[in-house]
Amino acid sequence: MKLLITCVAAISALCGAAWSEDAKNGKQVFETHCAVCHGLDAYGDGPMAPALLVQPTDLSQLTAQNGGVFPVARIVMRIDGRDPLVSHGSMMPVYGSFFDIDSVPLKAETGQPIMTSSPVVDLLAYLRTLQE
């Protein structure tokens, strides 16, 4: 039991420490890997949008469409392929392992830890700045 409490405390501490987001780096990640479909303003109107079976989401409305809560877990799982989209054919980023370079804990909107990569953490930080 003592070991379990120690592990939970360590994971909680890591989750808090891992949220050292960098929105500026996230913007660069977005412009390089996401804007071609989602558009530079993230409205879902990128130059590749017409070629997709399912139109890209307006990423500026994620919080508004989720009852005022930024949907961290859903975004992470869409990006890393745990919740794949038909329009992408498989995992969302067609950029291979770029989004899988490391594994860091992050707190989901529920407070539960979720593992993701540091580029995704930065991308989430940037997407938060776009919410209307």
Per-domain residue ranges of the chain: 2-129
The tens digit of pLDDT for each residue in 60-85 reads 999 999 999 999 999 998 887 777 76
Residue with tokens 């997709």: 52
Mean pLDDT, the chain, integer: 80
Q: What is the Cα–Cα distance from 68 to 87, expressed in whole angstroms?
A: 26
pLDDT of the residue at 127: 97
Which pLDDT belongs to residue 75?
Answer: 92
pLDDT of residue 86: 61
Q: How would residue 94 be classed by pLDDT, with cut points 50, 70 and 90?
A: low
Q: Is the pLDDT of residue 30 over 90?
A: yes
